[in-house]
Amino acid sequence: TAPIHSAFHHPHMAAEHLSEEALQARVAALRKLSKADVVPAVQEIVQAACLGEPFTIFRTVAGAGRAIGYKKAVTLQMAPTGEGAPTIVSEAAVVFGATACDLPAATWRGTRVLEMGCGSGYAGVLLAALGAKVTMTDLQHAAELALAAVALNSTVIKVPASAVFGVWDWSMPGKENSGAAAVGESLLADIASADFIVAADPVVDR
């Protein structure tokens, strides 16, 4: 099984947001998952996303609903390649998305998110559906699928949330690219103003 790599960083979010018991529970859960070659719930979403079929995720809500454990269903869909080949959505992106959905609703609402290596757009579109203003970045070859994913899910991305794509080669981070003009700013400005920088399996072995 390929290793799962996913992460998000926030300059103001500290580990004390989780109690010791919650941290231990997550560690135990990860240890249990690491013993399985396939996690059924993750694999179901991966398969649906790769085939361009709708799938449903569940997000936390604000207020009293969160206190009683209520979660809101959100249906997303990834864009098919149009070439007969499946869209690539990694297990890491799905696990990252589940983690993001489990955080308090206010975590993402209205925040600026920069995604490194968005691929087909799974994580970026999901975060936009959670209320974030997302700038997805990747090489030129990812542009068509990422933009198509944004268009397919436009009805669940509610203003002021948004998702845009900019071409950016992170092996040359100092080279400004005009591909981020969709929001009227350069990518450098988006990087500088980001509240979160996220990456879900941005490097693919070929």
- Quote the pLDDT of residue 108: 95
Q: Percent helix, strand, coil in the chain (nearest 5)?
A: 40, 20, 40
pLDDT tens digits, 19-59: 788 778 877 776 776 665 556 788 899 989 988 899 999 99
N-term to C-term CA, the chain: 15
pTM of the model: 0.76
Burial class, 61, CB count within 10 angstroms (exposed 0-12 / middle 13-18 / buried 19+): middle
Q: How many CB atoms lie within 10 A of CB 108?
A: 24
Radius of gyration of the chain from its Cα atoms, rounded to whole angstroms:
17
Q: Read off the pLDDT band of 181 (50, 70, 90).
A: very low
Count CA within 13 A, CB hemisphere, residue 113. Answer: 31
pLDDT tens digits, 105-143: 899 999 999 999 999 999 999 999 999 999 999 988 899
d(CA 169, CA 103): 30
pLDDT tens digits, 54-97: 999 999 888 777 677 788 999 999 987 766 556 788 888 999 99
Give the three-class secondary structure for 57.
strand
What's the one-letter identity of residue 100? A
Q: What rounded mean pLDDT belongs to the chain?
A: 80
What is the distance, to the nearest Å, from the Cα of residue 192 to the centroid of all Cα atoms in its chain? 19
Are the C-beta atoms of 179 and 141 separated by less than 8 Å?
A: no
- Quote the pLDDT of residue 73: 92
